[in-house]
Amino acid sequence: MIKLSNDLFKFDKTFVTDYLIGTDEAGRGPAAGGVFAAAVHFKNLNFENELALLNDSKQLTPKKTEELYDIILKETDNSIVCVEVEDIEKYNILNCSLKAMKLACTNILPKDIKDSLTIVDGNKLIKEYEFSQQFIVKGDSKSASIAAASILAKVARDRYMQKLDEEFPQYNWRKNNGYLTKEHIEAIKKYGITKYHRKSFLKNILNPTKQLKLI
């Protein structure tokens, strides 16, 4: 069931702060491509008719998500950050997800702000983040700011994977977004891996003694 955005905005209004940021990530689970995070600050937390279906991006149709993406970009202070596969392999996906959120939030924090609060989707706080923060479990279904961030991160990553698909169409990333679907797994076994694959995510689907070819 889609929750109307006035409920989500009401949740955000419960936080007493001069500058509220919501942040979320997209792309922790796929075996290919970078991880994205977005940060959003609504300049006005009053109910907006244009955002009547604002919700967690996973609950919306692709068409509605795309429409909301453009509105959110226009109506908010926001930042979208990607941390690429090289860092994911070096520092692990959790650390890179938190790094992406940290960068996105820092990008929109006014330099002269004295009182801010960042609400983070999930059950982890951003590491080495010097500003006030609080995690919100299932925040993308509770908070307008987090829901908006989830939409920005998801749409940006989907578009990114579509571009990668143009380079390596055999994996059908345009459709699976890098997740290990049956089709994606079969393509890896047939063609090998690319520079965009997360090798550490592939250990359980390939013979560990088999040398993967890089294309």
Domains of the chain: 5-165 (3.30.420.10)
pTM for the full model? 0.90
Say yes or no to pLDDT of 36 above 80. yes
Burial 168-205 (b: 16+ CB within 10 A, else e): beebebeebbbebeeebeebbeeeebbebbbeebbeee
Work out the pLDDT band at 67, boundaries 50, 70, 90: confident
User: Which residues does residue 42 pair with via DSSP β-bridges, in sequence order?
Assistant: 76
Residues 6+ apart with CB under 8 A from 70: none
176-181-184 Cα angle (round to 5): 80
Residues sharing a CB contact under 8 Å with residue 177, sequence separation 6 or more, in sequence order: 27, 30, 33, 157, 158, 161
pLDDT digits (tens, 9 = 90+) for 6-23: 788 999 999 999 999 999
CB 171 within 8 A of CB 32: yes
pLDDT at 49: 56
pLDDT at res. 7: 85
Q: What are phi and psi of 193, to 5 degrees?
A: -115, 165
pLDDT at 210 over 70: no
pLDDT for the residue numbered 215: 54
Q: Which of 19-23, 68-72, 83-87, 209-213 has the lowest mean pLDDT?
A: 209-213
**Alpha helix (H) ranges present in the chain?**
5-13, 62-75, 85-91, 93-108, 144-167, 173-176, 182-191
Q: Write out pLDDT tens, residues 116-127.
A: 999 999 999 999
Instruction: Tell me the pLDDT tens digit for each residue of 166-208.
Output: 999 999 999 999 999 999 999 999 999 999 999 999 987 765 4
Greater confidence (205 vs 83) lies with 83
Instruction: Summarize the confidence of residues 95-114 as an average pLDDT.
Output: 96
Res 1: pLDDT: 36
Query: Edge to edge, what strands does the sheet with 76-83 contain?
Result: 76-83, 35-42, 19-26, 116-121, 133-136
The predicted pLDDT at position 27 comes to: 97
Distance between the two ends of the chain, CA-based, in angstroms? 43
How many whole angstroms separate alpha carbon 193 and alpha carbon 215?
Answer: 6
| Confidence at residue 2, expressed as pLDDT on a 0 to 100 scale | 42
